Structure 1
């Protein structure tokens, strides 16, 4: 009987100890949880205050600037600003469309296909002049039997040097369009007018020629398989005077624009005064690329 009472007392004592320990753990948990919440709120208020009150502008004295750099609040805001700027820059780079990069590449035709980081448009061409490509000029303002004005330039280079052909063909001085779309077309021609030479034996006719000057004209034509006569897309002109003295006169014509082209369409360039044309590959060129 005494042993049974002792076991009951021992069980009660153990149960009371477990209950007391549970209560103690619960109270401790509630206390530390309250402390953590208080610290979190305090930290949040201090962080917001830090972001609001910190002045990141320059203009401080060197000693004050050094002291500020050691401030943890200043360091946090600096890191935050850095992360924001980096994220915005990365997002901007990702959102630049491939079409826009291709347009920029096409506008700068001297970027060759071998340059890293300079992707070419899917359909593009840049052809350059060949030194031996001058031909006899056609009278300016008259239309030839083939239906276009000026003298046609046939000798273009499309494979070497600064030139390239990307899904386009060059045939007889014409760029062949492979597919329908809106194309950006550009051309430049360079003229070297010889000096008349002011000598004592200069005749009156030469003086009249100097006074009248010369009209330089550049044409961009489109030829369609369904239409016999070429269609004039663009024209650029410039009136210049024949150079006096011993130095030649150097002039250039440049034009660019967009046109909708169909498959098998061809584009080519004609000029007035073709005998004065300077076919240096960096001075005379033309090309096109698909915009959309």
Structure 2
């Protein structure tokens, strides 16, 4: 029919329009001065719109690739101290839980060296995932978290104190434990300064009931501090004989904000 012949003719002319000349040359010549002949030429109009679409898609693809390259460089290239990264920063976080071995976790006595501060330093924390713990870009050394990058960090800690009466325990010792005493938790920072710097401390006074089978107290504290690269933070406690390093109750961590 005449209608089908007309459609076939337009279809063949459209294909001939796109194949009659290299598309690359057509795209390069898009910005040339338009003439009245070109504006009236349907074939040129098709090439012009197609070229504009191709250029737009190429530009968008280029911008996405450049953005991805910049993000990758930000995550892999080191930053000098004090330099603010231009893109997203790497994740820095740590959460440590109490170690199953309480005796090995706590220092045996109050360390007289000012470098370690007051109290019994907790030397061992559970850092594997089996204890709900994790370390992201943070190193743990002898119970101390080593700060990898200068910035502001939220530091938190909770210690669980448990008094459990033992029938075979010496009565004088039980009497000393039952006496009201201060339970203190310390969070320290180690720098190039010769003495440990106290960041936080929290305390409460125990009052064990003589009729109770056991007594429980927990101390939690947290705060935001500016730390420098290679600073180290750790936790110390008083009354290490009644500290319970249960993994759900005693924990210590920090993350960059």
Q: TM-score if structure 2 supplies the norm length?
A: 0.58
What corresponds to 1:187 in structure 2?
A: 157
Q: How does 1:219-238 map to 2 (within 5 A)?
A: 219-224=186-191, 226-238=192-204
Q: For each residue in 1:204-247, what CA deviation from the matched residue of structure 2 results, as whole angstroms up to 9, or x when unmatched?
A: x966764x4121000000001x2121100000001011332251
State whether residues 196 and 244 of structure 1, in contact with CA within 8 Å, keep that contact through their aligned partners in structure 2: no
State whether residues 107 and 123 of structure 2, in contact with CA within 8 Å, keep that contact through their aligned partners in structure 1: no
**Higher Cα Rg: structure 1 or 2?**
1
Q: For each residue in 1:172-196, what CA deviation from the matched residue of structure 2 results, as whole angstroms up to 9, or x when unmatched?
A: 1110100000000000000111337
What corresponds to 1:132 in structure 2?
A: 101
Q: For each residue in 1:246-279, what CA deviation from the matched residue of structure 2 results, as whole angstroms up to 9, or x when unmatched?
A: 5111110000001100000000000001121111
What corresponds to 1:160 in structure 2?
A: 129
Distance 1:245 1:126, change over 3 A: same
2: CA distance, partners of 1:258 / 1:126: 16
What corresponds to 1:290 in structure 2?
A: 256
1: CA distance, partners of 2:161 / 2:171: 24
Q: For each residue in 1:86-125, what CA deviation from the matched residue of structure 2 results, as whole angstroms up to 9, or x when unmatched?
A: xxxxxxxxxxxxxxxxxxxxxxxxxxxxxxxxxxx71100
Q: TM-score if structure 1 supplies the norm length?
A: 0.51
State whether residues 92 and 256 of structure 2, in contact with CA within 8 Å, keep that contact through their aligned partners in structure 1: yes
1: CA distance, partners of 2:93 / 2:177: 42
Q: How many residues align?
A: 163
State whether residues 131 and 278 of structure 1, in contact with CA within 8 Å, keep that contact through their aligned partners in structure 2: no
Supply the RMSD in Å over aligned alpha carbons. 2.5
The answer to which structure has the higher strand fraction is: 2
